[in-house]
Structure 1
Amino acid sequence: MGAGKTTIGRILARKLGKRFIDSDHEIEARTGASIPWIFEIEGEASFRRREAEVIRDLTAQDGIVLATGGGAVLNPDNRAYLQARGSVVYLRANVASIMLRTAHDKNRPLLQTADPRKKLEELTAQREPLYREIADLVIDTGRPNVQSMVQTILAQLNALEQSGARSGRSPDPSPSMTEQSRIHLNVDLGERSYPITIGAGLLGDAALLAPHISGRRVAIVTNTTVAPLYLARVAGALRAGGHEVLEIVLPDGEEHKNWASLMHVFDALLANKCDRKTTLVALGGGVIGDLTGFAAASYMRGVPFVQIPTTLLSQVDSSVGGKTGLNHPLGKNMIGAFYQPRAVLADTATLATLPARELSAGLAEVIKHGAIIDAEFFDWIEHNIGKLMARDEQALAHAIARSCEIKADVVRQDEREGGLRAILNFGHTFGHAIEAGMGYGAWLHGEAVGCGMVMAADLSQRAGLIDAATVARMRALVAAAGLPVKAPDLGTARWLELMEVDKKNEGGAIKFILLKPLGAPSIQSVPQDLLLATLAASV
């Protein structure tokens, strides 16, 4: 209740050219009585019977968007009808948000108690597992932009329609997907070498994943956003191949890249008696990849793992190279290990369901690779940024492949960041300070890096390494990718404090990755007056 089903349902119906029906309104129309009156006179049991009749009838119709009451899932027949006859979207809201939205609503009989918060907590605990049981999509309603949520739902429904993955079904790989259309790369690290496969339709391809699974048992680590979209497909493919699969679902968000989440993974592995032959599969974005990799490096002193990145940022950057870890309140990625995966499978089809903000965040790392290594690639990004923002499949595939090639070559030369690999942190000294200073999750990692690259370019010019035109190109491209170019005002002292906690620093001196020129990096400290000038000009 209070998640916005009616508001979002009406807009969604209009976009899809369907009729919108609210099951509560239909009950009132049939009985001629309000919901509170039915609860008061007939009781909740009678209301639930009426609700079940309405849902049975409405789910038999075509061309509608149906908003059910929050308690409809309590009836197993309702769950069966909803799951079998439609695509189920669960609009998720936390208790605090629901309290704000329903505080003055007298038409919610279940909340007419002395302690409505406690009641909501009880209802959430009771209903949440049932919502997840039948949901094809889970949409977080914490974002204030309703239109953005509707667009996300439309994109994800379209992806489900194309893949046939509804209600936990595991479809065969798309018949249009051919081996020739996949891109194969390799991270050359001797005995720790591993392949990267890029293409659409990889998630359900058991033959592609199976060679990288060591034993019979597999633990898939994912999050609450990715699980409803892709967990069933990956788990189904593994189970069909005879594997025993453990599903571990963590909360979504950078703020959960912490010790508690790591312990949750360890708890699940130990409770299920997972041994050294268990393979961990990281199914999700950068947070899941980093955290799962660290868990794999640590559990029983090292078990194999596979990266299946589902965001652009993780496909072009974090899934490749073996950097794993978690955040500490005093610094980002300060606790972890270098631990290489057995394979990276980047399914570009997952980008269809990626929110626009996440797509932009991934483009920051694409731009970074061009800026530090390949000026021609930077030119290509400038000329194709419109196609990338529009999710053109060929443009995205090229951007992912070239980014992976660049990173793989750097990692080959410097696996453990003894020198050269530090150039991959262009924009990150400023970016990590933004993330920590604003609170993890307030800015996406890619947003912070995008802004950080503009700041690093500004500092490069002040140090006499590039000209103003190059800074302008960087700022324009970052902005065209939908990323912020103006930094938050953290205060000079706070900026310096946060940047001093950086893995590149030596002897207390802040080290920056600068451009000298575009396409060629330089690792160096700068006079403090230049740094202060950049900070003053950037906020």
Structure 2
Amino acid sequence: MGSGKTTVGRALARKLDLRFVDSDHEIEARTGATIPLIFEIEGEESFRQREADVIRDLTQQDGIVLATGGGAVLNAASREFLKTRGTVIWLRASVNSILQRTGHDRNRPLLQTADPRKRLEELAVQREPLYREVAHMTVDTGRPNVQSLVQSILQQLDAREGRTGRPCDDAAPTQSSPNLMNPAAAPESQAVPATIALTVDLGERSYPITIGQSLLDDVAGIEAAVKGPRAAIVTNTVVAPLYLERLKSTLKAAGKSVIEVILPDGEEEKSWPNLMRIYDVLLGEKCDRKTTLLALGGGVIGDMAGFAAATYMRGIPFVQIPTTLLSQVDSSVGGKTAINHALGKNMIGAFYQPQAVIADTTTLNTLPARELSAGLAEVIKHGAIIDVPFFDWIEANIGRLMERDPEALAYAIKRSCEIKAEVVRQDERESGLRAVLNFGHTFGHAIESGLGYGNWLHGEAVGCGMVMAADLSHRLGYLDAGSRDRVKALVRKAGLPVTAPDLGESRWLELMEVDKKNEGGEIRFILLKPLGTPLITTVPQEALIATLRDCTRPE
């Protein structure tokens, strides 16, 4: 509803030299009554049956571009006709965008309520899973103009049909948006584009994610991301010798002046004193609000540089340039920034979105094997909580991922970023849905804190935490034994620990009580009910204790 289906559909039909049909207009032509009048006289159920009859008839026709009503997917038969008889394009729009376009439209019977926003949010919850079920392509309507939307659709249609592309006319280059629940699974033979472009759709705070090889050397791409004349690179003692000079050269070629901040490496260094070191350099160099902070490194650098950017002069631009698999698939996307405290991980921070994320996959060539495995934990997490076909794909391709097959890694990064970007779009500040991204993290953060930051890598702790969360899910009757065992086996194949350290039951509980997801003093867990469906819940202590005992027992 209000996503621009009719406008975009007409423009697309002209480009493809096809006939345009709007199912709502067809219903009105058949009945001689307007949609609002049909709703008023016959009710929604009768309208939906009329709509289903029209969809059945129209999907039998060739040579048309069909714009359906927003609720057409509510009918199971219509979903099947749409999915099997044509190419389904989901024009996805945020609630804010739809509200702006439809808030005063009296021809929208479903929005004639006291609280249209609430109604739109309810409709989104009801309908979006169905859109994902049927969609072959997803296009974000937060584009500057209709022509760019149409060009994006044409490019994706060409890609689906194996063509090399169409002339772009005068439309600007565009980026396709993620389809959260219905990915085209990536078989071993699937080709992955050399450069992948995604968007995190947050209205005015939206930003691009670019994934590809040798992006550190892409002068045009770096120049587009760094708007101001000055750039401050924050990196660490491990990454600096590898990539700092390359990035500085690219920035200088783009006409930017560059300063640098090199911090010690390690999770234990995500601390207040090192945050002060960033401020010291920025102040010493008299950096202003037009200075862009660049985070060159893994999750620790991204978190610290982002927090510094959020708080220096009350906010300056920053760009994420992640160099580890974990940061490329997870921590660089979504705007979470923080430092650690002795009593809890990531407890001091801010939500602050970057201007762009630039993931140069060639940096993974120098990544130690242990760090690669740590990153795979977050890849597995995305499949386990939301996308079972992706989980299946990871199982089938874990060997290729461990061997650093470029195509497999590119697809894993792309799909993970798509999933996280969609979750962040719906819940930027973790008021509800976004908490599902913490699957395995309640246990994992306790492991990191209990052993001391840096003893286990974050991804190692999360991997083991997922095994524990799967065990607890099974213990509570949410997850079958086979799925529990699949999670554990995949974590093990990724080179991650599956046996948790024995911290002692009281210490485990103490550490888990210091968690951002907790409410009213109760520990909240992200569990699976079943695989691919996350559940945020509290649990009986006896079940939790049983999981702690079993998962800390050596095999």
Normalised-by-shorter TM-score class: 0.5 to 0.7
Provide the residue aligned with 1:389 in structure 2. 402
SS in 1 for 2:208: strand
Q: Matched residue of 2:302: which SS?
A: helix
- Provide the aligned C-alpha RMSD in A: 0.8
**CA deviation digits over 1:205-239, x for unaligned, max 9?**
11101112122111000000000000000011111
Identity %: 73
Describe the superposition over 1:277-333 as per-residue Cα deviations: whole angstroms up to 9, x where unpaired. 100000000000000000000000000000000000000000000000110000000
Change (3 A) 1:267 1:377: same
Distance 1:499 1:274 in 2: 40
2:499 to 483, 486, 489: 486
Mean Cα displacement is larger for which, 430-439 or 214-223? 214-223
The answer to whether structure 1 residue 213 and structure 2 residue 226 are counterparts is: yes
The 3-state SS of whatever aligns with 2:216 is coil
Q: In the alignment, does 2:226 pair up with 1:240?
A: no
SS of the residue aligned with 1:344?
A: strand
Q: How does 1:516-535 map to 2 (within 5 A)?
A: 516-535=529-548
Q: Mapping of 1:371-520 within 5 angstroms? A: 371-520=384-533
Where does 1:138-177 land on structure 2 (aligned, <5 Å)?
Answer: none
Counterpart of 1:215, as a letter, is G
Counterpart in the other structure of 1:279: 292
In the alignment, is the contact (CA less than 8 A) between 2:222 and 2:254 conserved in 1? no
Query: Pick from 212, 235, 254: which aligns with 1:222?
Result: 235
Matched, 1:200 2:217: no
SS of residue in 2 equivalent to 1:443: coil
Letter in 2 for 1:369: H
Flag as ranges the 4+ runs of structure 1 deviating above 6 A: none
Q: 2:232, 2:260 within 8 Å by CA — same for their partners in 1?
A: yes
Deviations 1:9-35 (A, max 9, x none): xxxxxxxxxxxxxxxxxxxxxxxxxxx
Q: State the partner residue of 1:300.
A: 313
2-structure distance, mates of 1:392, 1:335: 37
Query: CA–CA distance in 1 between the matches of 2:544 and 2:212?
Result: 42
Query: 2:399 & 2:255 partners in 1: Cα distance?
Result: 44
Q: Report the counterpart of residue 361 of structure 1 in structure 2.
A: 374
Structure 2 counterpart of 1:508, one-letter code: G
TM-score of the superposition, structure 1-length normalised? 0.67
Q: C-alpha separation between the residues in 2 aligned to 1:188 and 1:215? A: 23
Distance in 2 (CA, whole Å) between partners of 1:395 and 1:274 is 41
Q: How does 1:55-94 map to 2 (within 5 A)?
A: none
The partner residue of 1:323 within 336, 358, 361 is 336
**Alignment gaps of 5+ in structure 1:** 1-178
CA deviations over 1:95-126 (Å, ceiling 9, x no partner): xxxxxxxxxxxxxxxxxxxxxxxxxxxxxxxx
In 2, the alpha carbon distance for the partners of 1:412 and 1:511 equals 23
Q: Give 1:359 shift.
A: 0.1
Partners of 2:404 and 2:355 lie apart in 1 by: 28
Instruction: Determine helix, strand or coil for the equivalent of 1:209.
Output: helix
1:456-504 CA-to-partner distances (Å, cap 9, x unmatched) read 0000001110111111101100000000000000000100000000000
Deviations 1:157-200 (A, max 9, x none): xxxxxxxxxxxxxxxxxxxxxx9510000000000000000011
| Of 231-240 and 422-431, the range deviating more from structure 2 | 231-240
Following superposition, the deviation at residue 380 of structure 1 comes to: 0.4
Residues in 2 aligned to 1:180 and 1:329: alpha-carbon distance in whole angstroms: 43
Q: Aligned partners of 2:215, 2:255: CA distance in 1, in Å? A: 19
SS of alignment partner, residue 442 of structure 1: coil
* Structure 2 counterpart of 1:264, one-letter code: R
- What's the offset of the Cα at 1:241? 1.9
Question: Aligned partners of 2:382, 2:224: CA distance in 1, in Å?
Answer: 30
The 5-angstrom pairing of residues 83-162 of structure 1 reads none
Separation in 2, partners of 1:180, 1:201: 14
- Structure 1 residues 376-412: Cα deviation after superposition (integer angstroms, max 9, x where no partner): 1000000000000000000000000000000000000
> 1:240 & 1:475 partners in 2: Cα distance?
48
The SS at the match of 2:199 is strand
